[in-house]
Chain A
Amino acid sequence: MKRFLEKLVEGILMISGSLTSVAILLIIIFLFKEGIGLFNSPEVEKGYVLSVSQANPVNSLSPLEVKDIFDGEITNWKQVGGTDEEIMIFRFDDIFNYYPEEEMGENYEFLPDKLSSVVQEHATIIAFLPEKYLSVSFQGKLLDKKNISPLDFFFGKEWFPTSAPVAQYGVLPLILGTLWVSLGAILIALPFGLAVAIYLAEIADVRMRKVLKPVIELLAGIPSVVYGFFGLVVIVPFLQSLFRLPVGETALAGSVVLAIMALPTIITVAEDAIRTTPRIMKEASLGLGANHWQTIYRVILPYARSGILAAVVLGIGRAIGETMAVLMVTGNAAIIPATLLEPVRTIPATIAAELGEAPAGGAHYQSLFMLGCVLFVITLVLSVAVEIISGKRSSRGV
């Protein structure tokens, strides 16, 4: 009986021990299940088709070309591989410019035929039509129906998930925005954090440590949304007046806020790394006549190199995944930024801002889950990198 109880408890403990692994597995399954669906969705909005006249040599258009045509940026068929003629855009409502409403019949039963003839008669037309109004004898040529391709997703330069007729799911601006903000944050936080870590580990007396340690703990404990709010009411207006910007919500504002948020991580991990330096090495250096700073610079920092690297990677990971603070201060413009003084939009901020509006199961919804997958993979790679970096250190012995 007693032995049975022992085994039972051990079993229960083992199950809860494996729960984190199960959770990761479930996260992967659910994220990718929804995300992969994106590549099975048609480029053109569901239930609609794009059509041209039979006389037109163009058979297919890329999503970006379609968007440019409907935005009026491409106006000639020559630009997309057709003949040298102006493009005529036709949306479903435009039918009433060609035929008065009376001719459609009582229940619009003639509408499909009219649509068909309009498309056939105008050689330069591109028509965006609901599928249900196409008759069996539709005379126009339907453009190739393609699914959203991973290539367009990962290398597309435009993110307009709600534009019609073809939504643009190019994550490049979001990935670049995320990297810009995170790298900016690390550039600010690393020298700062390293200095504080060295001070804490080597220079500070006990009294100062007793003040600094809880301060750093508290900095780590402040909720990200409070940092975002603080950034919004203090840092954003400050940067705006400092650089005389039209808007203060910029990548730089995000970097500053993220730098403050990444500081505790960097300081704690780097300090631990510095502390692992064996006393004997320090004493040898001091004994050879080096002073304290030379010992830190020449002995301790090189020794703690991999730990400091781990601190940097962890800091980057924290910055890349941060959502709320960034969402509130970076301005959320999905453009590829040229400088740090422009609004950007990061991957987590995009998910947070858009998921509420995206209908569940639609391509937009799926694209946001795909973004989640991208984010997941990035942070997983960083975790593994930290694992390898710190593994190296422990295998080196000493």
Chain B
Amino acid sequence: MNKKNIIQWFTFGIFRALSYLVVLILFFILGFIIYNGIGVISWEFLTGFPEDGMTKGGILPAIVGTLCLMAGSMIFAFPVGVMSGIYINEYAGNNWAVKFIRIMTNNLSGIPSIVFGLFGMSLFVNTLGFGDSILAGSLTLGLLVLPLVIRTTEEAMKAIPDSFRTGSLALGATRLQTIWRVILPMAFPNIITGLILSVGRVSGETAPILFTVAAYFLPKLPASIFDQVMALPYHLYVISTSGTDIEASRSMAYGTALVLISIVLLINILANSLRKYFGNKVKTN
């Protein structure tokens, strides 16, 4: 082996080792939380209310709250995002307006989540008078994931060859009919995958809900969209940093972290298997 090949062998070895290390880091984080949290998970933990200053009991209100926020934000972000994606990809030409919209969408996705929190508090909570509520929190979170939904929709539609569009138009279909009958059904699997990933993103966000919806402790479940809720990420934050007795609530924190991570894992697996399932289906057609 000459010198240059020794160098290559050496550097590639380092690169490979670092790549393995990334896998190791992920498994360490996941393993650590699963190992410490699995003992806490029980039926009572998942369906009970917090007790004794968050040191005992369960996290049901936080789970319900997070589910409410996931649903609420998607009700807003999904239709708007998909419609934006359709407009950018199918209607607007390559003019300045589209460029502008695209740059703005990019910028929106670059804005830190805490700024969304400030904005949500100022607009939804104070100016529009929603107060700390599911409505305010969902709108804030919806705005946060909007760029993600738009981008996945755009990519899903871009992947469809133009021959389908021209074919449909040549048969006398209008633009709208082409989109509704040809493009959307084909792009649907990828759009749904994007939607699922956005839901995952929403489930873990903390900063935007700090001042728009999250409550430290609530003894009851929300009854309307104008109620405050507890949420899993915020719950994890408070019991690991500022609970009444941090040491005593540590096991609760591990359990909460495990539930949160399980949601994210499940969503990822779901998205991946959907992608695979639809991928195979399209091929066989």
Chain A residues within 8 Å of B, Cβ to Cβ? 2, 5-6, 9-10, 12-14, 16-21, 23-24, 26-27, 30-31, 33-34, 192, 195-196, 198-200, 203-204, 208, 211-212, 214-219, 221-230, 232-234, 260, 263, 267, 291-294, 317, 320-324, 327-328, 348, 351-352, 355-356, 360, 368-369, 372, 375-376, 379-380, 382-383, 386-387
In the complex, the answer to whether A17 meets B106 with C-beta atoms within 8 Å is: no
Min CB distance, A268 to chain B, in Å?
12
Given contacts A23-B146, A217-B268, A223-B203, contact A355 B26 (CB under 8 A): no
In the complex, the answer to whether B126 meets A360 with C-beta atoms within 8 Å is: yes
Question: Which stretch from B45-53, B219-227, B235-243 is at the chain A interface?
Answer: B235-243
Min CB distance, A182 to chain B, in Å?
12
Residues of A within 8 A of B113 (CB): 321, 323
Of chain B, the residue at the smallest CB distance from A289 is B4
Given contacts A30-B122, A387-B103, contact A198 B257 (CB under 8 A): no
Min CB distance, A397 to chain B, in Å?
18
Given contacts A20-B101, A30-B122, A229-B240, contact A203 B111 (CB under 8 A): no
Residues of B within 8 A of A208 (CB): 19
A277 to B37, CA, bound (A): 45
Given contacts A222-B204, A293-B4, A321-B114, contact A23 B83 (CB under 8 A): no
In the complex, the answer to whether B86 meets A13 with C-beta atoms within 8 Å is: yes
Highest count of chain B CB atoms <10 Å: which of A6, A199, A369: A199
Q: What 5 A-B pairs are tightest by C-beta distance, nearest first?
A: A223-B204, A321-B112, A293-B8, A17-B87, A13-B87
In the complex, the answer to whether A196 meets B107 with C-beta atoms within 8 Å is: no
How many residue pairs link A and B with beta carbons under 8 A? The number is 247
Selected contact of A225 from candidates B29, B118, B147, B236, CB within 8 Å: B236
Of chain B, the residue at the smallest CB distance from A382 is B110
B157 close to A (CB within 8 Å) = no
> Can you list 27 pairs linking A and B with CB atoms under 8 Å apart?
A10-B91, A13-B83, A16-B87, A17-B87, A19-B84, A20-B105, A20-B147, A24-B108, A27-B116, A27-B119, A30-B123, A203-B15, A218-B265, A221-B200, A224-B206, A226-B29, A227-B29, A293-B11, A321-B115, A323-B207, A327-B241, A348-B114, A348-B207, A352-B114, A352-B207, A386-B110, A387-B103
In the complex, the answer to whether A323 meets B84 with C-beta atoms within 8 Å is: no
A215 to B25, CA, bound (A): 10
Selected contact of A199 from candidates B15, B103, B114, B257, CB within 8 Å: B15
Give the dominant DSSP class at B's interface.
helix
B121 close to A (CB within 8 Å) = yes
Residues of B within 8 A of A14 (CB): 87, 91-92
Selected contact of A375 from candidates B114, B176, B250, CB within 8 Å: B114
A201 to B29, CA, bound (A): 25
A127 to B84, CA, bound (A): 61
List 11 additional contacts besides A208-B19, A233-B250; criterion CB under 8 Å: A6-B174, A17-B84, A20-B104, A30-B118, A196-B18, A204-B19, A224-B204, A226-B236, A229-B240, A232-B240, A375-B114
Give the dominant DSSP class at A's interface.
helix
In the complex, the answer to whether A228 meets B237 with C-beta atoms within 8 Å is: yes
Residues of A within 8 A of B74 (CB): none
A17 to B23, CA, bound (A): 39
In the complex, the answer to whether B143 meets A23 with C-beta atoms within 8 Å is: yes
B12 close to A (CB within 8 Å) = yes
B175 close to A (CB within 8 Å) = yes
B253 close to A (CB within 8 Å) = yes
B170 close to A (CB within 8 Å) = no
Given contacts A2-B174, A230-B33, A323-B206, contact A199 B11 (CB under 8 A): no
Residues of B within 8 A of A372 (CB): 114-115, 118-119
B60 close to A (CB within 8 Å) = no
B67 close to A (CB within 8 Å) = no
Highest count of chain A CB atoms <10 Å: which of B21, B240, B267: B240
Given contacts A223-B203, A232-B240, contact A218 B26 (CB under 8 A): yes
Given contacts A222-B204, A229-B257, A348-B207, contact A203 B122 (CB under 8 A): no
A229 to B204, CA, bound (A): 13
Min CB distance, B174 to chain A, in Å?
6
Residues of B within 8 A of A293 (CB): 4, 7-8, 11-12
In the complex, the answer to whether A17 meets B92 with C-beta atoms within 8 Å is: yes
